[in-house]
Amino acid sequence: MEISAFLIRLIFLLLPGIICSQLYRKLKGSLARRDLDDYLEIIWFSLVSYLTYWALLAFAQSSGWTNREFTFFRSIFDEKQSPDLIEIAFASLIGLITAFIAAAFYSHKIINRLGRFLRVTKRYGDEDLWNYFMNWPKIDWVIVRDHKLGLIYFGAISVYSDSDKDREIILENVQVFSNKSGTYLYTVKAMYLPRNKDDLTIEIPVEETEKPVNLEAKETKNARRRKR
């Protein structure tokens, strides 16, 4: 078999992993990585998709619902075995579902939480703090301090850029204040903010049900305890 024909066959068979990888990166955001990592990700998602399909097919065979065979591995190494289009289609559908599950694991840091629970790591994730902060589930309304223009924006984050790009944020229902005096200036429905990473500070306001800590009172109380 010619190399070109083998590569075409391989790409066609890895279509579930390619689809899954592209959707997964759209959901979690793309980070700068090596080409090898991308290839390994496609292969991994392809194996997960096909093995999940194989498990479902084995269950269907044992139940007497079908007599179809699993042909993925034979299709790779045997040029006489034609790729099963139905198998690829089902594996691609499983790949779509796998992408959403993998993105949920990534967004909620399931692997890292398990690692911290087992005390084998202290890492919070692979992305930088920009993505970590923006994916924080408690974020709703935020205060954005624009150090470049001396303004404060209070609104809801709608869209934000990936960490390997300039800091770009789209805010909705934005109230604008002066950062120096705190004076209210105006309100807009949406605002696009392109800034350098040092030009912005993002804060999460305290909710009404939360009571801010009185540091002065706490320090006074600790001082009284030390005197005793």
97 vs 200: CA distance, rounded Å: 36
Query: Taking the alpha carbons of 24, 27, 29, 30 in that order, is the dihedral positive or negative?
Result: positive
- Identify the CATH number of the domain in which residue 146 sits: 2.30.30.100
Regarding pTM above 0.85, the answer is no
pLDDT in tens, 40-84: 999 999 999 999 999 999 999 999 898 999 999 888 888 788 888
* CA separation for the pair 34, 38 (Å, rounded): 7
Same domain, residue pair 36 and 82: yes
pLDDT band for position 109 (cuts 50, 70, 90): confident
Same domain, 103 and 144: no
Alpha helices in 63-210 (DSSP H): 72-77, 85-107, 110-117, 129-134
Residues 10 and 92 in one domain: yes
| Total number of domains constituting the chain | 2
Report pLDDT digits (tens) over 180-199.
Answer: 898 999 999 999 999 888 88
Residue 126 confidence class, pLDDT cut points 50, 70, 90: low
Range of the domain at 59: 3-112
Backbone angles phi, psi at 65, to 5 degrees: -85, -20
* Together in a domain, 93 and 186: no
Are the CB atoms for 98 and 49 separated by under 8 Å? yes
